[in-house]
């Protein structure tokens, strides 16, 4: 049986459906096959990444535009990289000029992975600080309560008269959890 020649397999991802994959697709145009998806890396559910990783064979090279398109964290990135290494698959990151087929590429890969995680942590801290500041300034988060005090009192009255929870839920078109919160 002839040994697999090796293909260039691309993976492109944007975080939201409103973003375009066009820039990444252009960078991956020389790949033999490109897996694409529009999903956040944080939810962990990336079916196209899973399919891409399963598709790769010994001798292939996984090509991505930037390191942060591939993994949720440094640990996750290193898990993917180690899996690829064990399977004889190289990793090429276009924007950061990383090619794990070289010693320098492996070193640069590790350094950039650590920096990417650090940047993500800093961004999360800033976001948390912004939310805390907004709350301190009286900004309310979450959905607005569509039920007035009168409607809530009406629900309480019905419940005290023995009306079943399921009937109140149906009448006001709310979930059981939401109804119990309102009745508290």
Q: What is the C-alpha to C-alpha distance for residues 37 and 133, in angstroms, rounded to an integer? A: 34
Three-state helix/strand/coil letters over 28-95: CCCCCEEEEEECCCCCCCCHHHHHHHHHCCCCCEEEECCHHHCCCCHHHHHHHHHHHHHCCCEEEECC
20 is catalytic: no
Instruction: Phi first, then psi: give them for residue 92, nearest 5 degrees.
Output: -125, 125
Torsion of CA 75, 81, 82, 87, to 10 degrees: 150
Inter-residue contact 72 to 41 (CB < 8 Å): yes
What spatial distance separates the first Cα and last Cα of the chain, rounded to whole Å? 71
Catalytic residue among 7, 15, 20, 110: 15
Question: Within 10 A of 12 (CB to CB), how many other CB atoms are there?
Answer: 25
Catalytic residues: 15
């Amino acid at each position: 049986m002839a040994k697999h020649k090796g293909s260039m397999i691309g993976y492109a991802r944007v975080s939201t459906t409103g973003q375009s994959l066009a820039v990444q697709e252009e960078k991956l145009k020389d790949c033999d096959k490109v897996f694409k998806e529009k999903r956040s890396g944080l939810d962990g559910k990336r079916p196209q990444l899973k399919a891409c990783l399963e598709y790769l064979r010994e001798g292939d090279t996984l090509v991505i535009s930037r390191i942060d398109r591939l993994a949720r964290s440094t640990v996750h990135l290193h898990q993917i990289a180690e899996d690829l290494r064990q399977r004889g698959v190289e990793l090429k990151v276009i924007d950061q000029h990383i090619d794990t087929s070289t010693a320098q590429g492996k070193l640069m890969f590790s350094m950039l992975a650590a920096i990417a995680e650090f940047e993500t942590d800093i961004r999360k801290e800033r976001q948390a600080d912004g939310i805390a500041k907004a709350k301190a300034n009286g900004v309310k988060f979450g959905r607005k309560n569509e039920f007035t005090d009168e409607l809530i009192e009406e629900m309480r009255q019905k419940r005290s008269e023995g009306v079943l929870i399921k009937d109140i839920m149906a009448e006001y078109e709310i979930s059981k959890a939401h109804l119990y919160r309102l009745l508290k």
